[in-house]
Amino acid sequence: MTDKIQQLQKRLGFEFANRDLLIQALTHCSCVQEGGEASNERLEFLGDAILGAVVSEYLYQAFPDWSEGDLTRAKAALVSEPTLAAVGRRLKLGKALRLSKGEEQSGGRERSSILCGAVEALVAAIYLEAGLAAARESILRWLAEPLGSIVPGEQSKDYKTLLQEILQESHRTLPAYRVMEESGPDHDKTFVIEVCLGKEILGVGVGKSKKEAEQSAARQALERRENGQN
C-alpha cells in the first residue's frame, strides 16, 4: 500500500504529512463494515461543500457577465458525479482505494459514485492538512480541462469529453457519432445523432445543431452507463 500511496501523491501533486488523513479519504464505507477504521463519508460531506465554494468563486470571478442561471448550470456540471469521477480516473484513484472484497469484485474501483466520493474526500483531506488555499489550488488544477471548455448556455458540452475519457479508460477506444436523421429547412434544422462503440449504440440525442445533438447523445450514454444499461 505504501508504494501505491506514494505514487498517488505524485499524481495528486500534494504530499500529506498526516498519512492517516489520506488513508481515511481513500477508505470506502464497505471496508469499514469489515472491521476497518473510519470511512471517507464525513470527508466527502466537507469536500462537497469546499468544491462548491471554490468552483462558485472561480466562476463568479472569471465570468462577470454571466447570469445567475449560467453560473448555477456551470457549477452543477463541474461538481457533478460524471465530472468528478472523470477526475478520479485521471488520477487513477481506483488503484489506491480501500474497498471490501465484495465491493472490489463488483467493480467498485471504477464505479463513478465511489470515485466521485473519493475526490470529494481528498479535497477535504487537503483542506484539513494545509488549508483552503491548498485545496483551491488542487481543485482548479484537477478541473482545469472542464473549466477551460465550459461556456454559458452550453454546460452539457462537456459530456462528450467525459464519455471519451471513460471509454478510453475502459475500452481503449473512442466513440463514434453518426447522423441518423436530418429534417427541417436550412434555417431551422433538427438533427438526430447516435453515439456508438463499435456496433453497440450507447445513446441517441436530438438537437438544433449536430454539436447539440452529439452532446445530448453523449449525455444519454453516460446516464445509461450509470444505470447499468450498457
Quote the pLDDT of residue 147: 86
pLDDT digits (tens, 9 = 90+) for 97-121: 998 888 888 888 888 889 999 999 9
Domain end (from 153, 174, 192): 153
Domain end (from 99, 134, 153): 153
Question: What's this model's pTM, rounded to 2 decimal places?
Answer: 0.68
Residue 74's domain is classified under what CATH number?
1.10.1520.10
Residues 87 and 195 in one domain: no
Nearest-angstrom CA–CA distance, 191 and 146: 25
Catalytic residues: 48, 120
pLDDT digits (tens, 9 = 90+) for 8-37: 999 999 999 999 999 999 999 888 765 557
Quote the pLDDT of residue 195: 96
Do residues 230 and 200 touch, judged by C-beta distance below 8 A? yes
Domain end (from 153, 187, 221): 153
Cell numbers 485521471: residue: 90
Nearest-angstrom CA–CA distance, 101 and 103: 6
Residues 134 and 193 in one domain: no
| Closest of 209, 190, 193, 211 to residue 201, by C-alpha | 193
pLDDT digits (tens, 9 = 90+) for 115-141: 999 999 999 999 999 999 999 999 999
Domain region containing 109: 1-153
